[in-house]
């Protein structure tokens, strides 16, 4: 190797290492972490007007864009999506209403169809990091959520503070308060009983869904929703750091996982830990104590390159462990799961764990990636399975 080349290699290696250390330094600051965890400035729908949902493939006035007030500051930008068959039945009247953002949703037919139908069900949608209510696989996701009962299942989705048109800066505390405001709106303004509400989350949204479900289950008296469907969840942020790849390819801090001491040290700087494993355990054990019925479905694809599917059996373990007074090790549970696992061939496999009060399902798909999975029929089925378990007359 020539001298100049060697020098060049040395300089670029040094520059690379310096940049990486700078990055790690930045990662210890709260605001940089917020940008990495929430990616809220990456809107993905920059050029599209969210007040024109037709851009995202919805028929005229199927979606009502509106705002949900919060007690802690800015209003949250939201979409109410009518189930398609209900839309079809009322198409003429809906088309006669003005399109675009609706300052007073209570004046609209879509809202009345939700509020005044005792049969209506509502899926509260908690989206993942980056983007807005309109980006990527979210619109097809909303369609999948109500596909199995397209007359009764409404969807409510919103942007957390700091995302899209919702002002603010996201933090764990702030995002959970946002989610609580949306639940309050659903129960009080839209008048939907908890047994007719289902919590759906994907990726970061799973952590939000678990946090908000835990919060309400711990109220006195407890408020427990029909159930949770969680797609591509993770156990907590520090564990995620060890496996996460930005856009499925760039390992940010995971190379450091080979140095456990350094990694643990870096972990102590994480401000928003999103400890879903602890929250799901508290949620389960609260319901086991109060005797409230609960249903959790975890879904993950083996080819998810953003969040490894291995997070799902870990989370499942924490949930099941909370039902066993003496506790259970991960391997003990895996052995028991082997006896119950239903092999679905190329679709993957399912394990169901039941207690007197709860049903916990783990669905590992062979295919579905991180986002595409949200538009799959397994999602429609998971929603329907929970609503029919709550009320067998629901068809
Ligand atoms: C499992 O449950 C037992 C008993 O409640 C508890 O002591 C233990 O910490 C739990 N394990 C985990 C990993 O949370």
- Of all protein residues, the one whose alpha carbon is nearest to atom 12 of ligand 1 is 318
228-267 pLDDT, tens per residue?
Answer: 999 999 999 988 887 776 656 666 677 777 777 777 777 7
**DSSP-based three-state secondary structure for 277:** helix
Is residue 8 one of the residues assigned to a domain? Answer: no
Q: Flag whether pLDDT at 362 surpasses 90.
A: yes
CA of 316 to the centre of ligand 1 (A): 13
DSSP code of residue 293: -
Index of the ligand 1 atom closest to the CA of residue 330: 13
Q: What is the pLDDT of residue 248?
A: 60
Beta-bridged to residue 251, according to DSSP, are 245
CA of 376 to the centre of ligand 1 (A): 34
- Of all protein residues, the one whose alpha carbon is nearest to atom 8 of ligand 1 is 327
pLDDT exceeding 70 applies to what percent of the chain?
Answer: 96
CA of 277 to the centre of ligand 1 (A): 11
- Number of structural domains (the chain) is 1
Q: Is 125 in the pocket of ligand 1 (CB under 6 A)?
A: no
Q: Is 323 in the pocket of ligand 1 (CB under 6 A)?
A: no
CA of 366 to the centre of ligand 1 (A): 30
Q: Are 225 and 210 in contact (CB under 8 A)?
A: no
> Which segments within the chain are labelled E, that is strand?
63-70, 73-81, 121-126, 153-158, 197-202, 227-231, 245-246, 250-251, 294-301, 342-343, 349-354, 358-365
Residues 6+ apart with CB under 8 A from 188: none
Q: Is 321 in the pocket of ligand 1 (CB under 6 A)?
A: yes
Question: CATH no. for residue 53?
Answer: 3.40.50.1820
Q: Flag whether pLDDT at 46 surpasses 90.
A: no
Give the DSSP per-residue string, 224-248: --SEEEEES--S-HHHHHTT-EETT
Q: What is the pLDDT of residue 212?
A: 98
Is residue 325 one of the residues assigned to a domain? Answer: yes
Query: For residue 253, what are the CA distances in angstroms to 25, 242, 244, 273?
Result: 12, 7, 8, 15
Q: What is the mean pLDDT of the chain?
A: 92
Q: What is the pLDDT of residue 249?
A: 63
- Of all protein residues, the one whose alpha carbon is nearest to atom 13 of ligand 1 is 318
Kindly state the average pLDDT of the residues 16-40: 77
Sign of CA dihedral 208, 226, 224, 291: negative
Kindly state the average pLDDT of the residues 136-141: 96
Q: What is the pLDDT of residue 74?
A: 84
Residues 6+ apart with CB under 8 A from 354: 360
Q: Flag whether pLDDT at 2 surpasses 70.
A: no
Q: What is the pLDDT of residue 34?
A: 80
Number of other CB atoms surrounding residue 316 within 10 Å: 25
Distance CA 325, CA 291 (A): 15
Q: What is the pLDDT of residue 1?
A: 53
Q: What is the pLDDT of residue 245?
A: 66
Distance CA 178, CA 124 (A): 12
Q: What is the pLDDT of residue 146?
A: 98
Q: Which range marks the domain in which residue 293 is found?
A: 37-390
- Least trusted range by pLDDT, from 12-21, 86-95, 334-343: 12-21
Q: Is 154 in the pocket of ligand 1 (CB under 6 A)?
A: no
Number of other CB atoms surrounding residue 318 within 10 Å: 19
């Amino acid at each position: 190797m020539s001298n100049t080349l060697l020098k060049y290699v040395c300089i670029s290696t040094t520059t690379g290492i310096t940049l990486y250390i700078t990055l790690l330094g930045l990662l210890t600051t709260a605001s940089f972490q917020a940008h990495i965890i929430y990616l809220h400035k990456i809107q993905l729908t920059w050029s599209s007007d969210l007040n024109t949902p037709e851009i995202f493939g919805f028929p005229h006035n199927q979606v009502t864009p509106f705002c949900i007030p919060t007690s802690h500051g800015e209003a949250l930008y939201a979409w109410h999506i009518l189930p398609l068959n209900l839309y079809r039945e009322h198409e003429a009247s809906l088309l006669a209403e003005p399109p675009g953002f609706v300052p007073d949703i209570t004046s609209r037919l879509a809202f009345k169809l939700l509020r005044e139908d005792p049969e209506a069900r509502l899926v509260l949608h908690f989206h993942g990091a980056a983007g807005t209510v309109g980006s990527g696989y979210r619109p097809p996701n909303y369609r999948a959520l109500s596909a199995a009962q397209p007359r009764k299942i409404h969807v409510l989705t919103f942007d957390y503070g700091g995302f899209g048109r919702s002002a603010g800066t996201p933090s764990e505390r702030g995002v959970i308060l946002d989610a609580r405001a949306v639940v309050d709106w659903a129960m009080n303004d839209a008048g939907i009983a908890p047994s007719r509400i289902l919590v759906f989350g994907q990726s970061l949204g799973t952590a939000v869904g678990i946090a908000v479900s835990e919060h309400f289950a711990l109220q006195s008296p407890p408020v427990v929703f029909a159930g949770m469907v969680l797609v591509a969840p993770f156990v907590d942020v520090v564990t995620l750091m060890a496996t996460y790849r930005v856009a499925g390819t760039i390992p940010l801090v995971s190379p450091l996982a080979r140095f456990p001491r350094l990694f643990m040290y870096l972990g102590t700087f994480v401000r928003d830990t999103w400890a879903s494993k602890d929250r799901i355990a508290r949620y389960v054990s609260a319901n086991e104590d109060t005797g409230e019925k609960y249903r959790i479905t975890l879904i993950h694809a083996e080819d998810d390159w953003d969040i490894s599917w291995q997070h799902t059996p870990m989370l499942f373990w924490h949930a099941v462990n909370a039902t066993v007074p003496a506790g259970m090790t991960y391997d003990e549970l895996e052995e028991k799961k082997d006896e119950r696992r239903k092999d679905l061939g190329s679709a993957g496999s399912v394990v169901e764990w039941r207690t007197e009060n709860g049903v916990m399902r783990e669905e590992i798909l062979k295919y579905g990636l991180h986002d595409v999975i949200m538009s799959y029929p397994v999602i429609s089925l998971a929603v329907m399975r929970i609503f029919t378990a709550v009320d067998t007359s629901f068809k």
